[in-house]
């Protein structure tokens, strides 16, 4: 858990609605450097949205400069490495 990062999300994020909820989940589960490798399905299940919403949120959060993403292929699983940069 990265409580400092989660606090920064609450205080500084410009994200709205489910996008902020996704960003909070990412921040809560990120390491001390703000990094997390996860799948869209895992985020969707944890937050209670569908994978399309997670993909849209990742694009929106990238556009407003709150995360950076890098696609990863782990075995046969499509993962995304996310850095929360608030």
Would you tell me which CATH number, out of the four given (1.10.10.10, 1.20.1250.20, 3.30.830.10, 3.40.605.10), belongs to the domain 3-84?
Answer: 1.10.10.10
Q: What is the pLDDT of residues 49-69, one digit of tens each?
A: 999 999 999 999 999 999 999
**Is 5 in contact with 32 (CB distance < 8 Å)?**
no
Helices assigned H by DSSP within 1-86: 3-12, 17-29, 40-47, 51-63
CB burial readout 57-67, b (16+ within 10 A) else e: bbebbeeeebb
Task: Supply the pLDDT for residue 69.
Answer: 96
The more confident residue out of 77 and 60 is: 60
For residues 82 and 67, the answer to whether their CB atoms sit within 8 Å is yes
Q: What is residue 58's predicted lDDT score, i.e. its pLDDT?
A: 97
pLDDT score of 45 more than 80: yes
Q: Please, which pLDDT band fits residue 14 given cuts at 50, 70 and 90?
A: very high
Tokens 């694009």 sit on residue: 59
């Amino acid at each position: 858990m990265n409580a400092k990062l989660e606090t920064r999300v609450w205080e500084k994020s410009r994200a709205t609605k489910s996008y902020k909820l996704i960003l909070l989940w990412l921040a809560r589960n990120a390491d001390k450097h703000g990094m997390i490798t996860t799948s869209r399905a895992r985020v969707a299940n944890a937050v209670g949205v569908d994978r399309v919403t997670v993909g849209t949120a990742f694009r929106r959060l990238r556009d407003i400069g709150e995360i950076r993403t890098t696609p990863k292929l782990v075995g046969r699983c499509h993962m995304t490495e996310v850095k929360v940069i608030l």
